[in-house]
Chain A
Amino acid sequence: MIPRTSEVNHIHIRSVLFSSIVNVGDTDEHTAFSRAIAIQKYEPEFNPTLNNLLDFPRYQIFTMVRPPAIPPKEVVMESYHDPAFIKVNSIDIFGISTAAMLHIGGIQNIDLESRVKHVRDYRTNPDPKNLSIVPFATVSRKHREPKGREE
């Protein structure tokens, strides 16, 4: 098979982060993996004791086995290109994040994986009328009283 040529005149990207890449050219194989624990905290400072507590394997989402992909059906494929060009004038992307990819050119095998765990940590119960939605953690750990708190 004669490879097709991709032609892009102009690329403008503001940010590429967390295992993401921008590739111009052909690729045989590419694998990217990203995992993240995103903590939405009330207090702006990071508590160093969290370093020991926040272990990836402690959360099920990082240990659960990825379901096996359905193996591709072997099909005899013939493709003819006339003319062998994919033309794009401009690409404008604000952000590429978390094992994502922008690829200009042909690619044979690509495997991207990302796992994200969100935790919202409030200083006090944000919804006291509906306690049932807030399962208070049974882990008994010394509750740190926030500084400068009234009452």
Chain B
Amino acid sequence: MKFQVINHDLSIGDLKIVGVSISSLVLVGDAGHIALAAAFDTPPETLTVGTALVPLSVV
């Protein structure tokens, strides 16, 4: 397969962004290969009472 792209004039006015967070990308340009990964853990078990902050599995 031959993939042919013809880019014409690309003009953007104003970009307004509140947040770019946790492995995110704002790109003004061309890219070859992009790999973005994020792991986020906030299950109910994260809630602890007292000072025992270590996970339950580490006893």
Contact = CB atoms under 8 A, between A and B. Distances in A.
B50 A137 contact: yes
Interface residues of B, number: 58
Given A77-B3, A88-B13, 20 more contacts: A61-B41, A80-B5, A91-B28, A94-B19, A98-B21, A98-B22, A101-B20, A108-B33, A109-B32, A111-B35, A112-B36, A114-B23, A116-B38, A118-B46, A121-B53, A137-B48, A137-B50, A137-B56, A138-B56, A139-B52
Interface of B (DSSP majority class):
strand
A104 B29 CA distance: 6
Given A76-B3, A98-B21, A144-B51, A106 B30 contact: yes
Interface of A: 3-4, 6, 8, 20, 26, 32, 34, 39, 47, 50, 53-54, 58-61, 64, 66, 69, 72, 75-125, 133-139, 141, 143-144
